[in-house]
C-alpha cells in the first residue's frame, strides 16, 4: 500500500532544482517564535514565486574569505573545508564563527585549503540574521530526533537526559537541542497535519467500514482507548488505519467510552458508514457499543453490530488451561533464562540435544509470559527432557537442584502439552493468516470447543485437567453466545472457504439464511443498483401516482435485477467451498464479475474483524514490547507519538503545517556530513 506516490515526484523535482534556485525552497516556522529553517522539504503545493534580489557583493578584505570560494553566479560563498554554503551577503563575522566552530585550527591549514578539492554543495540556505549561520545544521538534527522519538515511541523528555545532551556536546559543543516543550509543540502540530490527511483519505472510501477498540492503562494510571478502522478497497486490498488514541476520563465506564468513540467517528465523518465494532470483551466496552448501536438504530442509519475479540477469548481460555501447570512452567522458564544467559551452558545443551536426538534448538529461547513462551516451556521438557536433566545435573552448582522435575511434574507436562497442542496450532494459524476473517476464526473456535469437550469427557483425563476443561468450556460457550448473530453469519458465508459447509453448528440456521437473503436483496440489489437500471428512484415508484410507460419498463427491470441478485447468492452457496489456503480477497477480486452484487456485500462484511488486536500481541513475545511502550508513554505525548508512528508505517507522509518533511533528504545530508567528517583531509585537520 502506497499513499505517498504523489510526494515522490515532488521530492525528485526538489533534488534537481534546489541548487539552482534557492529562493524556491520553503521555510518551516516551527512555532511563532521559532526561526525559519530550510530543512529540505517536499511540499504538495507549489511554492510562491519569490522575486530575486541582486545580492550585495562584499569586497575581499577579510582574512576569513581566503577559506571560502565564491560561486560562479556570484550569489554564494562555499567553505573549502566542508562545502557549507552561505549567502554572499553573510557578514564575515559569521564566516569566522563557522570556521572556529566547525574547523578549529583553520588558520594553520592554509596549504590544505589551497589544495582542497571542490566539494558539492550539501545545504542551500537563505540569508539569515547575524549569529544564526549554523542553525540549519541543528534543525536537521532536531528533526531527525523527532523521527527517532516517534519510531521508538519515546516521550520528548527523553532528550532532556543529561548524559544524552552531554554526548552531543562532546561531538560538537555548538549543537543546540530544542527544549522538550518545543518538541511537544512540533509533535502536536505534526499530529494535526497528518490527521487531516487521514480524514481526507477516509472520505474517498466507498464501502462500509468496521472499527476495533483496544484499551490499556499507563504508568500514570490513565486509561486509553485506541480506535482503528478497517475496510476493503476497490482493488480488494485490506486497509487498516489507526484513527486515534483517546484518553478515557474517570470513571472510565461505558458512558465515557461511548462519548470518546462517537467524537472520533464524527471527526472522521464515518458514523454513517460504520458496519461493526470489535471490542476487547470488557463490560464497559460492551456497554459503550450497545449505546452506539441504539444511537445508530434510532437514526435509522443502517445495520450495525458489535462482537467480542476472539483472540482475547482464546487467550483467556488458554490461561485457564495453564493455571494448573503454572508452577511447573515457572520452574522450566527459570532454567530457560539461565540457558539464554550463558553461552557455555546453552552450547552444552545444544550438543546434548543433538546427541540424544531431541531436536534442534535455537537461542535465545522464548521465555515471555505470553502464550508462545508458556508453550515453549512445555515443549522444551516434552521434546528434550533428557538434555534438560543432564544440563541441570552438570551445572548443579550454578543452577541448583530446584530446577529438576520429578516424575509427576513430567507426567503433567506431557498431558498438558498434548492437550494444548491444538490450541498452539490454532493460535499460530491465526497469527500467520494474512487477514483473520471471522468465518475462519469461528471455524477454529468451534474446533477448540470440540477439543475441550473431548478431554473433559474422556475417562483417561486426570481430574485436574477435567476441572480446567470445565472452566475453559464456559468461556468458549459464552463467546459463541455473544458472537452468534445474523451479521457474523453473513460474514462467515461470504468467506468462500467456509460458506454453509464449514460454518459452526451454532450459526447454521435456516432462519439466518432467510435473513441473509432478505438483507442482500434489500440492500445490495434493488436499492443499490436501481439507479443503474432506470432513471427513477425507488421512492418515486413506491409513492404511487401516474405510472408512465418508462416507469413500467423500469419496474420490470428492477424485478429482473432482484431475481438475478437472488440467483447470485443461490449460485454462490451451491458451489463447493474454496480450499482453506485460498486468499479470500484475491478470490473475490477474480470472481467479482461473476457476482457483481454479491461482491459489493462481500466488500462490506469481510472487513468485519474477529479480533480487536493483532493476534501476535497476545500470543507472541512481540506483545511484551508493545505493552512496555504503551505503559511508559507520558500523557502529554501518547496520542501524538503513537498515532504519527502508526500513520508513517502505513505510508502517510510526515507533515508539519501541511508541508512534507523530506526525511530521505535529511538522511542524505547527514550521510554527506559524516563522509566529510571522516574524509582523510578532515582526519588530518583533527590531528593537528
Predicted confidence (pLDDT) at residue 127 exceeds the cutoff of 80: no
Whether residue 154 is found in the same domain as residue 245? no
Residue 653 carries which DSSP code?
P
Cβ atoms of residues 125 and 85 within 8 Å: yes
Q: Looking at residue 29, what is its pLDDT?
A: 33
CA dist., res. 458 & res. 478, Å (int): 23
Q: What is the mean pLDDT of residues 257-269?
A: 97
579 domain residue, yes or no: no
Give the per-residue pLDDT at 33.
36
Same-domain status, 197 and 303 = yes
3-class secondary-structure state, position 212: strand
Confirm if 76 and 87 have CB atoms less than 8 A apart: yes
Given a contact cutoff of 8 angstroms between Cβ atoms, the answer to whether 94 and 86 are in contact is yes
Same domain, yes or no, for 294 and 211? yes
Domain that holds residue 302: 192-307+622-654
Q: Which of the two residues, 80 and 123, has the higher pLDDT score?
A: 80
Mean pLDDT of 653-662: 88
H or E segment to which residue 514 belongs: helix 510-521
Owner of C-alpha cell 499507563 = 218
Examine residue 436 and state whether it is found in any structural domain, yes or no: no
Q: Mean pLDDT, the chain, as a whole number?
A: 79
Q: How many CB atoms lie within 10 A of CB 87?
A: 18
From CA 352, how far away is CA 331, in angstroms rounded? 20
Q: Are residues 222 and 238 in the same domain?
A: yes
pLDDT of residue 97: 76
Beta bridge partners of 78: 69, 85
Q: What is the pLDDT of residue 71?
A: 78
pLDDT band at 527 (very low <50, low <70, confident <90, very high): very low
pLDDT digits (tens, 9 = 90+) for 314-339: 999 999 999 888 889 999 999 999 99
The CA distance from 57 to 60, in Å, is 9
Identify whether 268 is part of a domain.
yes
* Residue 259's pLDDT band (cuts 50, 70, 90): very high
> Where are the strands (E) in 149-257, listed by range?
209-217, 223-232, 238-248
Lowest mean pLDDT among 138-142, 445-449, 518-522, 683-687: 683-687
Q: Give the model's pLDDT for residue 376.
A: 92
pLDDT-derived band at 155 (thresholds 50, 70, 90) equals confident
Asked if residue 164 and residue 198 are part of one domain, the reply reads no
Maximum mean pLDDT: which of 10-14, 25-29, 164-168, 436-440: 436-440
Q: What DSSP element (H or E) covers 240? A: strand 238-248
* HSE-up (13 A, CA, CB side) for residue 538: 12
- Is the pLDDT at 118 greater than 80? The verdict is no
Which residues fall within 8 angstroms of residue 151, CB to CB, at 6 or more apart?
Answer: 645, 648
Give a yes or no: residue 149 inside a domain.
yes
For 20-34, 212-226, 240-254, 258-272, which range has the lowest pLDDT when averaged over its residues? 20-34
280 and 173 within one domain: no
182 versus 627: the higher-pLDDT residue is 182
596 or 685, greater pLDDT: 596
The band of 52, judged by pLDDT with boundaries at 50, 70 and 90, is very low
> How many Å separate Cα 60 from the centre of its chain?
56
Query: What's the pLDDT band for 39 if we cut at 50, 70, 90?
Result: very low
Contact 618, 369 (CB under 8 A): no
pLDDT of residue 390: 92
Task: Name the E strands within 620-670.
Answer: 655-656, 659-660
Kindly tell me if the per-residue pLDDT of 133 is higher than 50. Answer: no
Residue 515 CA from chain centroid, whole number: 36
Judge if 303 and 251 occupy the same domain.
yes
Q: What confidence category does residue 597 fall into, taking pLDDT thresholds of 50, 70 and 90?
A: very high
Q: Is the pLDDT of residue 112 over 50?
A: no
User: Which CATH number characterizes residue 225's domain?
Assistant: 3.30.420
pLDDT value, residue 565: 53
Grid cell at residue 566 = 437472488
pLDDT-based confidence at residue 590 (cuts at 50, 70, 90): very high
Find the mean pLDDT for residues 462-488.
92
Over the Cα atoms of the chain, what is R_g?
33
Residue 117 pLDDT exceeds 60 = no
Domain total of the chain: 2
Min mean pLDDT across 61-75, 290-304, 603-617 is at 61-75
Reported as a single tens digit per residue, the pLDDT across 484-512 is 999 999 999 999 999 988 888 888 888 89
In a domain, 178, yes or no: yes
- Cβ-contact 234, 604 below 8 angstroms: no
- Are residues 178 and 273 located together in one domain of the fold? no
Which band of pLDDT confidence, cut at 50, 70 and 90, is reported for residue 212?
Answer: very high
Does the structure show a pLDDT above 80 at 51? no
| Cα(78)–Cα(179) distance, integer angstroms | 31
- Angstrom distance (rounded) from CA 130 to CA 91: 7
Percent of the chain with pLDDT over 70: 78
Range in 12-16, 237-241, 275-279 with the lowest mean pLDDT? 12-16
pLDDT score of 109: 46
34 contact partners, CB below 8 Å, separation of at least 6: 182
CA–CA dist 328, 238 (Å, integer)? 42
**pLDDT > 80? residue 535:** no
In the predicted structure, residue 48 carries a pLDDT above the cut 70: no
Note whether residue 67 is domain-resident: no
The C-alpha cell at 351 is 550438543
pLDDT in tens, 398-418: 887 777 888 888 999 999 999
> Same domain, yes or no, for 169 and 252?
no
Q: Does any domain span residue 19?
A: no
Compute the average pLDDT of residues 634-657: 91
415 in any annotated domain: no
| Residue 539 reports pLDDT greater than 50 | no
The kind and range of the H/E element at 245 are: strand 238-248
For 84-98, 298-312, 345-359, 422-436, which range has the lowest pLDDT when averaged over its residues? 84-98
Q: Is the previous residue joined to 251 through a cis bond, with omega within 30 degrees of 0?
A: yes
Q: What's the pLDDT at 526?
A: 56
Residues 269 and 168 in one domain: no
**170-174, 549-553, 627-631, range with the lowest pLDDT:** 549-553
Task: Reply yes or no: is the peptide bond before residue 364 cis, omega within 30 of 0.
Answer: yes
The maximal CA–CA distance of the chain, rounded, in angstroms, is 102
Q: Are 448 and 317 in contact (CB under 8 A)?
A: yes
Comparing CA positions, the residue from 205, 267, 280, 212 lying closest to residue 237 is: 205
Length of the chain measured in residues: 688
Q: Answer yes or no: do 208 and 262 share one domain.
A: yes
Residue 16's pLDDT is 41
Tell whether the model's pLDDT for residue 5 goes beyond 90. no
Distance CA 601, CA 608 (A): 12
The span from the CA of 397 to the CA of 470, in Å, is 42
Residue 106 is predicted with a pLDDT of 67
DSSP per-residue string spanning 326-347: HHHHHHHHHHHHHHHH-HHHHH
**646 and 660 assigned to the same domain:** no
pLDDT of residue 682: 53
Amino acid at each position: 500500500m502506497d499513499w505517498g506516490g504523489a510526494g515522490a515526484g515532488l521530492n525528485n523535482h526538489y533534488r534537481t532544482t534546489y541548487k539552482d534556485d534557492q529562493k524556491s525552497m520553503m521555510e518551516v516556522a516551527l512555532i511563532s517564535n521559532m526561526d525559519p529553517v530550510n530543512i529540505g522539504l517536499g511540499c504538495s503545493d507549489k511554492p510562491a514565486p519569490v522575486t530575486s534580489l541582486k545580492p550585495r557583493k562584499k569586497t575581499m578584505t577579510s582574512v576569513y574569505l581566503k577559506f571560502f570560494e565564491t560561486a560562479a553566479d556570484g550569489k554564494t560563498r562555499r567553505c573549502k573545508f566542508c562545502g557549507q554554503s552561505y549567502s554572499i551577503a553573510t557578514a564575515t563575522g559569521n564566516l569566522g564563527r563557522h570556521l572556529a566552530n566547525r574547523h578549529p585550527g583553520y588558520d594553520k591549514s592554509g596549504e590544505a585549503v589551497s589544495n582542497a578539492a571542490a566539494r558539492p554543495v550539501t545545504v542551500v540556505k537563505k540569508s539569515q540574521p547575524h549569529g544564526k549561520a549554523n542553525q540549519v545544521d541543528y534543525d536537521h538534527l532536531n528533526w531527525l530526533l523527532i523521527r527517532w522519538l516517534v519510531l521508538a515511541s519515546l516521550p520528548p523528555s527523553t532528550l532532556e537526559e543529561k548524559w544524552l545532551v552531554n554526548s552531543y556536546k562532546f561531538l560538537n559543543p555548538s549543537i543546540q537541542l530544542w527544549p522538550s516543550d518545543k518538541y511537544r509543540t512540533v509533535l502536536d502540530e505534526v499530529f494535526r497535519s497528518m490527521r487531516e490527511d487521514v480524514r481526507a483519505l477516509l472520505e474517498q472510501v466507498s464501502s462500509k467500514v468496521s472499527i476495533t477498540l483496544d484499551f490499556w492503562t499507563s504508568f500514570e494510571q490513565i486509561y486509553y482507548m485506541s480506535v482503528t478502522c478497517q475496510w476493503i478497497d476497490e482493488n480488494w486490498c485490506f486497509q487498516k488505519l489507526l484513527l486515534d488514541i483517546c484518553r478515557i476520563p474517570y470513571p472510565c465506564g461505558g458512558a465515557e467510552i461511548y462519548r470518546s468513540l462517537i467524537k472520533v467517528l464524527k471527526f472522521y465523518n464515518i458514523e454513517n458508514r460504520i458496519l461493526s465494532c470489535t471490542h476487547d470483551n470488557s463490560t464497559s466496552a460492551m456497554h459503550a457499543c450497545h449505546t452506539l448501536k441504539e444511537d445508530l438504530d434510532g437514526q435509522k442509519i443502517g445495520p450495525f453490530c458489535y462482537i467480542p475479540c476472539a483472540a482475547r477469548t482464546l487467550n483467556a481460555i488458554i490461561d485457564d488451561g495453564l493455571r494448573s501447570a503454572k508452577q511447573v512452567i515457572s520452574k522450566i522458564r527459570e532454567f530457560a533464562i539461565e540457558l539464554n544467559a550463558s553461552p557455555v551452558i546453552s552450547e552444552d545443551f545444544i550438543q546434548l540435544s543433538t546427541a540424544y536426538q531431541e531436536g534442534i534448538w535455537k537461542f535465545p529461547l522464548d521465555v515471555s509470559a505470553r502464550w508462545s513462551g508458556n508453550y515453549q516451556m512445555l515443549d522444551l521438557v516434552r521434546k528434550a527432557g533428557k538434555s534438560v536433566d543432564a544440563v541441570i545435573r552438570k551445572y548443579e552448582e550454578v543452577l541448583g537442584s530446584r530446577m529438576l522435575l520429578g516424575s509427576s511434574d513430567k507426567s503433567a507436562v506431557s498431558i498438558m502439552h498434548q492437550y494444548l497442542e491444538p490450541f498452539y496450532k490454532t493460535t499460530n494459524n491465526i497469527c500467520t493468516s494474512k487477514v483473520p476473517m471471522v468465518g475462519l476464526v469461528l471455524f477454529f473456535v468451534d474446533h477448540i470447543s470440540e477439543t475441550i469437550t473431548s478431554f473433559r469427557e474422556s475417562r483417561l483425563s486426570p481430574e485436574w485437567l477435567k476441572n480446567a476443561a470445565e472452566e475453559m468450556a464456559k468461556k468458549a460457550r459464552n463467546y459463541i453466545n455473544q458472537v452468534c448473530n445474523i451479521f457474523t453469519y453473513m460474514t462467515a458465508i461470504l468467506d468462500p472457504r467456509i460458506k454453509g459447509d464449514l460454518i459452526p453448528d451454532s450459526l447454521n440456521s435456516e432462519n439466518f439464511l432467510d435473513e441473509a437473503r432478505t438483507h442482500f436483496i434489500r440492500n445490495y440489489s434493488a436499492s443499490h443498483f436501481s439507479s443503474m437500471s432506470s432513471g427513477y428512484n425507488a421512492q418515486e415508484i413506491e409513492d404511487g401516482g401516474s405510472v408512465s410507460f418508462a416507469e413500467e419498463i423500469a419496474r420490470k427491470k428492477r424485478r429482473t435485477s432482484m431475481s438475478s441478485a437472488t440467483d447470485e447468492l443461490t449460485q454462490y452457496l451451491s458451489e463447493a467451498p474454496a480450499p482453506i489456503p485460498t486468499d479470500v480477497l484475491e478470490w473475490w477480486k477474480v470472481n467479482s464479475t461473476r457476482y457483481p452484487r454479491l461482491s459489493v456485500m462481500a466488500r462490506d462484511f469481510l472487513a468485519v474483524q474477529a479480533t480487536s488486536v493483532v493476534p501476535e500481541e497476545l500470543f507472541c513475545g512481540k506483545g511484551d514490547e508493545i505493552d512496555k511502550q504503551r505503559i511508559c508513554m507520558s500523557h502529554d505525548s501518547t496520542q501524538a507519538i503513537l498515532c504519527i508512528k502508526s500513520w508513517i508505517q502505513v505510508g502517510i507522509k510526515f507533515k508539519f503545517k501541511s508541508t512534507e518533511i523530506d526525511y530521505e533528504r535529511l538522511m542524505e545530508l547527514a550521510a554527506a556530513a559524516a563522509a566529510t567528517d571522516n574524509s582523510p583531509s578532515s582526519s588530518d585537520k583533527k590531528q593537528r
